[in-house]
Structure 1
Amino acid sequence: MENETIYILAIESSCDDTSAAVLCNKKKLSNVVATQKIHEEYGGVVPELASRAHQQNIVPVVHQALSKANIDKKQLSAIAFTRGPGLMGSLLVGTSFAKSLAMGLNIPLIEVNHMQAHILAHFIEEDGMNAPSFPFLALTISGGHTQIVLVRDYFDMEILGETLDDAVGEAFDKSAKILGLPYPGGPLIDKYAQLGNPKAFSFTRPRVEGLNFSFSGLKTGILYFLQRETKKDAAFIDKNRNDICASIQHTIVEIMIDKLKKAVTQTGVKRVAIGGGVSANSGIRKALEEARESYGWSTHIPKFEYCTDNAAMIGIVGYLKYQEARFTSHEITAMARYVIGA
């Protein structure tokens, strides 16, 4: 089967981005993403609005993905889709569309775990992509998840640690909100951080046993710090925005790197890969590059295109599952909670 030419149409609709991609074996032919801007005025994703926008976007996005790939839908070998985790309404749009199209074309259907896809995105064959060897440690960081995963093989993964409360993306976005920055605030904190002093202000780090994370205490500490300082000087945030952002980012990145150090020590695995929306953050990318020099780790950082939610990462999992004939029944339903390894 490895020598066959396999075309996978992949659909991703777990949150507020509608995406479709076409892969030929491990190579991406197209990867189209329609981003929903409507949530910005609400300061966060509104599930009902997200599912409505997916319904409007999914047909044109799939059509565009096929056109860019220059293939006809009759050439498709299978359809892969995100089953979960994510927003139920959004997932249902993608799941229903994928099931209907696979049934209409009489081709296999392949379910994909969104978080597993962030990890396996590293195996897309493309210039600038450097796939890790097994076993490796994956740090999956996004608005909804923060996990350290031991990856023994494509479909043999074990969660070693995860967040007990807020995910790291939430920590960035909520800190940005406290600073008066618009949604999504994480990329803005990154932007201002690059102009500031990361050691200008010190924030207390949560003490959490083992390899689990906690960010809610840090967020509260940032809130109290800013309330204190703005009482003394109403313009404190405006005067110190770059340094505040740099200090917040530095603290969050250090928390993650400290946990990765513990994971490497516990497992003896020195290959480390990152995935998820927050892996686009310049601070974490720089810290991992430095860890390569300081600790002798083999570090794997995805291209920006594969950090945020996208269908190409769903497609690579679809291809790998196709190789093993891991097909899905049409009786399947979407899952808002879908744990790696379940």
Structure 2
Amino acid sequence: MSVIILGIESSCDDTSAAVIKDGVLLSNVIANQAVHESYGGVVPELASRAHQQNILPVVHEALKRAGVKKEELSAIAFTRGPGLMGSLLVGVSFAKGFARSLNIPMIDVNHLAAHVLAHYIKEEGEESVQPQYPFLCLLVSGGNSQIILVKSYKEMEVLGQTIDDAAGEAIDKCSKVMGLGYPGGPIIDRLARQGNPKAYSFNKPHIPGLDYSFSGLKTSFLYSLRDWIKDDPDFIENHKNDLAASLEATVVDILMDKLRKAAKQYNINQVAVAGGVSANTGLRNAFHDHAKRYGWKIFIPKFGYTTDNAAMVAIVGYLKFQDKDFASIELPPYSRVTI
């Protein structure tokens, strides 16, 4: 009998639902929230209200596209955390009510682990090459920068992580300082393709071990801009491509330096990347470069699986379903937790 999992993701500002049947993705629907753009960041109260409006139509559309009736579902997987508490409550509450009405199990999913395990999503008609355990995963997003040793789908160890800002957060803040808008990541990426990555140099942190730090880079970028603008008030407008390219190159260099050390230290050549920043062109190019130089077998997610989506939640749900690892109806969401 087929195993059909409905995944629900509502950790931040994207409401998403996906259906996976026997490990193969049938649908993945995402409703974005444009309301936050004018605020330069996600407003938690507005996010939770938008989730309440979006969740029913998104789930309905996911089931419709998958050609699946709700009575055919085997279980409902949902993001339990980490994330914004108000947003999580909407998804968790809906999952509880829907699962109880259908009398089927619930499966709680760690949002960070879901990003890592997005590499196991299969699509119909496509050949899927998946990482073999153990492998390293660089998880980079607006809120996280971590190097993770993945021993199995349920056993992961964080080898290093940021001690302050995440890589995506630093890029967004530097973009904001330049007056480029929000979210900054895609804007910096686009401008960087037309700029010189060696035009400017910014401070790189000297953090022991495999941990990261990006606050110093952010400060160096801010102070450098301040000095350059004194001499040329139009400096940013006249040099934004080179600034974006140099900023991106610095962030990528910091990320890859620690990842190389981890791969050497643990003698692992299977290396994956995940999270929102994994959509960055410079970082993807660096992965391909390291595959050639160091013999890495690399795994880079499709663009649709880099940002928050329910397909990654559903695949974790499918894996946990095999072990009958179900959640209690009493489980509350959590805003902060590690893998």
1:128-143 aligned within 5 A: 129-143=128-142
The corresponding residue for 1:162 is 161
- The answer to whether the 8 Å contact 1:129/1:303 transfers is no
Shift of 1:338: 2.1
3-state SS, counterpart of residue 102 of structure 1: helix
3-state SS, counterpart of residue 329 of structure 1: coil
Shift of 1:270: 1.1
1:1-342 aligned within 5 A: 4-126=1-123, 127=126, 129-340=128-339
Structure 2 residue ranges without an equivalent (≥5) = none
Shift of 1:266: 1.1
Structure 1 residue ranges without an equivalent (≥5) = none
Supply the distance in 2 between the matched residues of 1:160 and 1:245 (Cα, whole angstroms): 29
Q: Normalization by structure 1: what TM-score? A: 0.98
Supply the distance in 2 between the matched residues of 1:32 and 1:18 (Cα, whole angstroms): 8
3-state SS, counterpart of residue 79 of structure 1: strand
Supply the distance in 2 between the matched residues of 1:6 and 1:238 (Cα, whole angstroms): 54
Supply the distance in 2 between the matched residues of 1:37 and 1:16 (Cα, whole angstroms): 9
Supply the distance in 2 between the matched residues of 1:129 and 1:272 (Cα, whole angstroms): 16
Counterpart AA for 1:58: I
- Identity %, equivalent residues: 58
3-state SS, counterpart of residue 325 of structure 2: coil
Supply the distance in 2 between the matched residues of 1:276 and 1:41 (Cα, whole angstroms): 24
Supply the distance in 2 between the matched residues of 1:256 and 1:132 (Cα, whole angstroms): 20
3-state SS, counterpart of residue 57 of structure 1: helix
- The answer to whether the 8 Å contact 1:139/1:149 transfers is yes
Supply the distance in 2 between the matched residues of 1:150 and 1:101 (Cα, whole angstroms): 35
Supply the distance in 2 between the matched residues of 1:85 and 1:252 (Cα, whole angstroms): 24
Counterpart AA for 1:110: I
User: Which string of whole-angstrom CA distances, capped at 9 and with x for unpartnered residues, describes residues 103-151 of structure 1?
Assistant: 0000000000000000111001133643111110011111111110000
Counterpart AA for 1:197: N
